Amino acid sequence: MSTIIHGSDRKSKEQPLFTKEDPFLAPILDRRSLNKKGSSKATFHLSLDIQGSSITYQEGDAVGIWPRQDPTLVEELLALLKAPKQTMVKDPRLNMEMSLENYLYTRANLSRVTPALLQLLASSAVSTQKKDFLQNLLRPDSKELRALYSKNHDVVTCLQDLLPHDLSIQEFINTLSPMLPRFYSIASSQQQYPHEIHLLVSTFSYEVQHETRFGLGSHFLCHSNTPFVPLYVQHNPNFRLPEDPKTPIIMIGPGTGIAPYRAFLQHRASLSTPTRNWLFFGECHQAFDFYYKDELETYVKKGILQLSTAFSRDQDHKIYVQHVMEENAKDIWHWIQEGCHIYLCGDATHMAKDVTHTLLSIIHKEGDLSEEDAKALLQSLRKEKRFQADVY
């Protein structure tokens, strides 16, 4: 990532737009929690100012965000290394010199313990016990053991256990994985917000060796005191509204998966052509976790949106979006026959698989098709870009 500049500082429109290596420094206009008191979640809406940047985006696009490390983590690591924060080091990938503190804040992945780091610690270990432990981890047949160690440690907790008395700071830097950008679906349409990008961000925390850690990107966006966010647009041509606004769409997106659909609906609400839009949204509790409730209900009142919700913990048995889809199977099949486009956004591990399985079941049962023919039809919907997924 090169020097970050504000869009209005660019001298020529012929210069490339902002990129991964040259992000735009967007001021934060608004940052607010979307969860009501009593929620177990911490989900935020952010409005970022892109005025003067000439940045353009389409509904369905994402932004890449360059975060900064949690100051507490950096300070803890600097104390362990016993190195002045202004110690100059060289970025091994960009061949650029910078302070150790700056490198740890902006370039280093402090979550991943690499084999290279373990190898360096083994070669520097004074204690026979620690050397033997590390050499055992590094054996070719210890892949699973090494993976388990890396899963249960980060760079700080690894050094707490295994840091030798003398460690070359540059050699240490060379063993770290690079920080990578974090990606978030854009939750606004430039038709309605020409100079802003909106994000929907869910924060989380986890434990590493009894120490609390926070999601790097979400913590930076939602809880840091930074007034600016380094970003660039990541275009997503495989998650687009149909060209014909009369084409009906079904949007399935529990949790923060609703983000791109807010952009879709803002775009379609700006059109003079009547549109048909159906959203399946789910979260934990309707009273606490109904993101953009007022906005969505306004679309419903205007006849722009058909809304189906699943709040999993508002009853004794859990209800998810796929269950509500099953309840509406006949209508979903009717929409498919009418040529609708179907969108799926959110968790790839469980939700996307469950929803896809439910969609396949609806096609199989309501279409009176064999399982093989149902699979073939779903595959054809993918090929025709009538079924598009953005999962993570």
Q: Are residues 123 and 169 in the same domain?
A: yes
- Is 86 domain-assigned? yes
Residues 18 and 89 in one domain: no
Q: Is the pLDDT of residue 202 over 80?
A: yes
Is residue 84 domain-shared with residue 12, that is, in the same domain? no
Mean pLDDT of 136-144: 96
Q: What is the percentage of the chain residues whose pLDDT exceeds 70?
A: 96
Q: Is residue 202 a contact partner of residue 41, using CB atoms and an 8 Å limit?
A: yes
Q: Are residues 212 and 154 in the same domain?
A: no
Q: Do 259 and 380 belong to one domain? A: yes
16 and 167 in contact (C-beta within 8 Å)? no
Domain total of the chain: 3
pTM of the model: 0.93
Q: Is residue 243 part of a domain?
A: no
The alpha-helical segments, DSSP class H, found in the chain are 71-81, 100-106, 115-124, 128-137, 143-152, 155-162, 169-174, 216-223, 259-269, 286-289, 293-301, 321-327, 329-337, 351-366, 371-383
Q: How confident is the model over 1-22, as a mean pLDDT?
A: 56
Q: Please check whether residues 103 and 143 belong to one and the same domain.
A: yes
For 142, the 3-state DSSP assignment is helix
Residue 15: pLDDT band (50, 70, 90) is: low
* Residue with the two structure tokens 């979307």: 34
Structural domain contains residue 242? no
Do 253 and 338 reside in the same domain of the chain? yes
pLDDT, tens digit, for every residue of 43-93? Answer: 999 999 999 999 999 999 999 999 999 999 999 999 999 999 999 999 999
pLDDT at 60: 98
Find the CATH number of the domain harbouring 21: 2.40.30.10
Question: Is residue 258 domain-shared with residue 375, that is, in the same domain?
Answer: yes
Is 51 in the same domain as 89?
no
Residue ranges making up the domain that contains 119: 71-178
User: What is the rounded distance in angstroms from the CA atom of residue 365 to the CA atom of residue 173?
Assistant: 57
Same domain (yes/no): 28, 142: no
Residue 2 lies in a domain: no
Has residue 244 been placed in a domain?
Answer: no
8 pLDDT higher than 80? no
Please check whether residues 76 and 167 belong to one and the same domain.
yes
Residues 278, 227 share a domain: no
Backbone φ and ψ of 263, nearest 5°: -65, -45
Task: State the chain's mean pLDDT as an integer.
Answer: 94
For helices 371-383 and 351-366, give the axis angle rounded to 10 degrees: 120
- SS3 for 174? helix
